[in-house]
Amino acid sequence: MGAVTRTTLVHAGPDEVAQVATDPDAVLPIIGSFGRFERIESHADGSQEWDLYLDVGTIHVGGRVLVEPPSDGSLVWHSVRGTMHDARIVVSPATDGTTLAMTISVKFAGRLLTGWITGVLADRILARRIEASLQQLRHRIEYGG
C-alpha cells in the first residue's frame, strides 16, 4: 500500500494550528472518530508511546507507536509493534491561513495479490477517514470547542 495524503485549509495562523495539530495529547482526542488512541508513556526526550488503532472499514489496524518529540510544524509517529504503519501531520503557512496535511501509510501482510487488494481497499477507506479527521480538526481550531 502506498501513502495516503489529504490536506485542508485552516483559517487561522500557523502557530495557532501547530499548537493543536502537533501536540498528540491535543490532536488525537479531536480526531477520535478516526480510531482508538491511548497514551502509554512519555519519555524524557519528549517522545511518547501510544496504543493507536485506526478504523479501516470493519477492522482496527495499528498497535504500539512511537510519537517523535515535537518539532516545528509536524507530528510524526512510527509503529513499533502491531500493524506496520506511520503517519505525519504537517502544518505549513498558506496565503489564506494554514495548510494542514495528514499522510498515513500502512503495510498489510499477505502474499502479493492478497496484500495488494487489501491495500487498495484500505487506501480508499483511509482517505475518507483522513479527510473527516482533518475537517474535525479544522472546525475545532477555527470555532473552538
How many domains, the chain? Answer: 1
pLDDT tier for residue 75 given thresholds of 50, 70 and 90: very high
- What phi and psi, each to the nearest 5 degrees, are found at residue 45? -80, 0
User: Which of 43, 40, 65, 41 minimizes the C-alpha distance to 52?
Assistant: 65
For the chain, what is the radius of gyration of the CA atoms? 15
- 81-122: pLDDT as tens digits: 988 889 999 999 999 999 999 998 877 666 555 555 556 666
Assign residue 137 the CATH number of its domain. 3.30.530.20
C-alpha cell at 122: 484500505
Instruction: Collapse the DSSP code of 73 into the 3-class scheme (helix H, G, I; strand E, B; otherwise coil) and give the result.
Output: coil
Instruction: Collapse the DSSP code of 13 into the 3-class scheme (helix H, G, I; strand E, B; otherwise coil) and give the result.
Output: coil
Using left for φ > 0, alpha for ψ between -120 and 50, and beta otherwise, residue 76 falls in beta
Q: Which domain holds residue 37?
A: 3-143
Average of per-residue pLDDT values in the chain: 86
Across 60-64, 88-92, 137-141, least confident range: 60-64
User: Which of 71, 64, 77, 131 minimizes the C-alpha distance to 105?
Assistant: 77
pLDDT surpassing 90 at residue 63: no
User: Which of 37, 42, 41, 40 minimizes the C-alpha distance to 62?
Assistant: 37
pLDDT tier for residue 129 given thresholds of 50, 70 and 90: confident
Which residue has 477555527 as its cell numbers? 142
